Amino acid sequence: MFANWKCNKTVDQAIAWLEEFECFLKTRSLTDVEFVICPPFPYLPVLSASIEKSCLDVSLASQTISDVSSGSFTGEVSAEMVTSWVKYSLIGHSEQRMSRKITDEKVADTVVLCQKSNISPVVCVSNLEQIKNLIKNSLVKRDGLLIAFEPLESISHDGNFNPADPDKVLDFINLAKEIVPDAEFIYGGSVNPDCFGSYLDIPLKGFLVGQSSLDPEIFYNLAAYAKDT
Ligand code: PGA
């Protein structure tokens, strides 16, 4: 279960989220569920330290990563800069693809950089073409590659959800698996307590949750519901 906080929370709110989440985990540790928080970059060190101190079974991911490894690139954050804090990195989230005009080719190059730095990339896609272009790069390791399917129209805006039709998600996953059978798939886009159950029969490895991850109780309860179903 990935919590994509996007551009939300102050550092104090981030720490408070983790403390509250820890209480839920202590009440009932969902042992075989992997929780991954994707906070804004500046919170990675402090959250990493808190996780270590409390021996929490939670990992971190960056929300994006640069396609350069070092040099004169103002504002860029490279894979090797975050590698001691993160296990995963989102790559090619549609909000990044749009605002920073990132091409499929650059997404693939970044995936390769991440894999070289021992960070597991979570490649966000909204169509099959993006998957086809990803694997055109022969250096991308496909085995166990995590791909997050996020239909553009289903990503929530201003707290408004627009969940995708589960049948369409299933169709996409089946077609995507034909293109890259060694990959694992997660789903994201308006995942919330009302629609979550409708995706649980789809062969998915997990979920990338935005808006509904901002509240630790809602996020935790999604995972608890999945386990109980
Ligand atoms: P959402 O965001 O759950 O708020 O739709 C998901 C995402 O964009 O990762």
- Give the span between the Cα atoms of 75 and 77, in whole angstroms: 7
- Give the span between the Cα atoms of 60 and 42, in whole angstroms: 12
Model confidence band, residue 228 (pLDDT cutoffs 50, 70, 90): confident
pLDDT on residue 31: 84
Closest C-alpha residue for ligand 1 atom 6? 210
The secondary structure of 61-78 as a DSSP string is EES---S--SSS-TT---
pLDDT on residue 170: 98
- Give the span between the Cα atoms of 6 and 186, in whole angstroms: 17
Mean pLDDT, rounded, for 54-74: 96
Is the CB of residue 209 below 6 angstroms from any atom belonging to ligand 1? yes
pLDDT per residue as tens digits for the range 162-219: 999 999 999 999 999 999 999 999 999 999 999 999 999 999 999 999 999 999 999 9
Instruction: Residue 44: name the closest of 1, 79, 11 by CA.
Output: 11
Instruction: Check whether 29 has a pLDDT greater than 90.
Output: no
Q: Is residue 224 within 8 Å of 28, Cβ to Cβ?
A: yes
pLDDT per residue as tens digits for the range 105-129: 999 999 999 999 999 999 999 999 9
Ligand 1 atom nearest the C-alpha of 209 is: 3
State in Å: Cα 158 to ligand 1 middle: 11
Helices (H), 76-142: 79-82, 94-99, 104-116, 128-136
Is the CB of residue 155 below 6 angstroms from any atom belonging to ligand 1? yes
State in Å: Cα 76 to ligand 1 middle: 23
Is the CB of residue 122 below 6 angstroms from any atom belonging to ligand 1? no
pLDDT per residue as tens digits for the range 10-26: 999 999 999 999 999 99
Q: What is the pTM of this model?
A: 0.97
Q: Is residue 84 within 8 Å of 52, Cβ to Cβ?
A: no
Model confidence band, residue 46 (pLDDT cutoffs 50, 70, 90): very high
Strand, coil or helix: 182:
coil
pLDDT on residue 39: 98
Ligand 1 atom nearest the C-alpha of 90 is: 9
Is the CB of residue 123 below 6 angstroms from any atom belonging to ligand 1? no
State in Å: Cα 47 to ligand 1 middle: 21
